[in-house]
Amino acid sequence: MKWFERSFPSNTPAWMYPSLLERLRGTPARLEERMKSIPNSYYIIKLEDKWSIQENLGHLLDLEPLWSNRIDDILLGHETLRPTDLANSATDQANHNAQAVQGLLEKFRTARSAFVAKLEALEPTQFDKTALHPRLNTPMSILDVMYFVAEHDDHHLGMMTRIHKKLET
């Protein structure tokens, strides 16, 4: 299913916090493992004019500031979460295919570690605060944002796997 066709639940229960936190914390390791399992020669191949494996990795890095800022939006009491660039122009313009994969992985690990640290510093009383997601037009709590980000991570890891499998055939 295409990302923009998906819907997401709201009111993610607080008991999911530890599991969501671990999913988010584990994404850098999963990305590193995924990249090790793919031949380097496949990293920058674009199929059907879509992002390459390396561009999918770069896209995850590009969105880390958005996730952190959306947590801030909720904590600051904003009515609406800041929007994303639905055209993903930052990823298209970043030329991730010309960058070193190890550098992208290290930058992602650093950014994600900061995001996880922000989430770890939260108090459970903050989990009930919400702000409207601008595209989905639904209120999202911090836990809903965590779920959304974890699903986004997995979506792009899945895309990387699909590209790899297509190149193997």
pLDDT in tens, 79-134: 999 999 988 899 999 999 999 999 999 999 999 999 999 999 999 999 989 999 99
Q: What 3 state SS string does the chain have?
A: CCHHHCCCCCCCCHHHHHHHHHHHHHHHHHHHHHHHCCCHHHCCCCCCCCCCHHHHHHHHHHHHHHHHHHHHHHHCCCCECCCCCCCCHHHHHCCHHHCCHHHHHHHHHHHHHHHHHHHHCCCHHHHHCEEEECCCCEEEEHHHHHHHHHHHHHHHHHHHHHHHHHHHC
pLDDT of 9 reads 78
pLDDT in tens, 11-28: 899 999 999 999 999 999
Identify the band that residue 37 occupies on the pLDDT scale cut at 50, 70 and 90: very high
pLDDT at 57 over 90: yes
Average pLDDT, stretch 138-156?
A: 96
Identify the band that residue 10 occupies on the pLDDT scale cut at 50, 70 and 90: confident
pLDDT of 2 reads 74
pLDDT at 6 over 80: no
Average pLDDT, stretch 128-145?
A: 95
Average pLDDT, stretch 140-166?
A: 96
Identify the band that residue 8 occupies on the pLDDT scale cut at 50, 70 and 90: confident
Mean pLDDT (the chain, rounded): 95
pLDDT at 168 over 80: yes
Identify the band that residue 4 occupies on the pLDDT scale cut at 50, 70 and 90: low
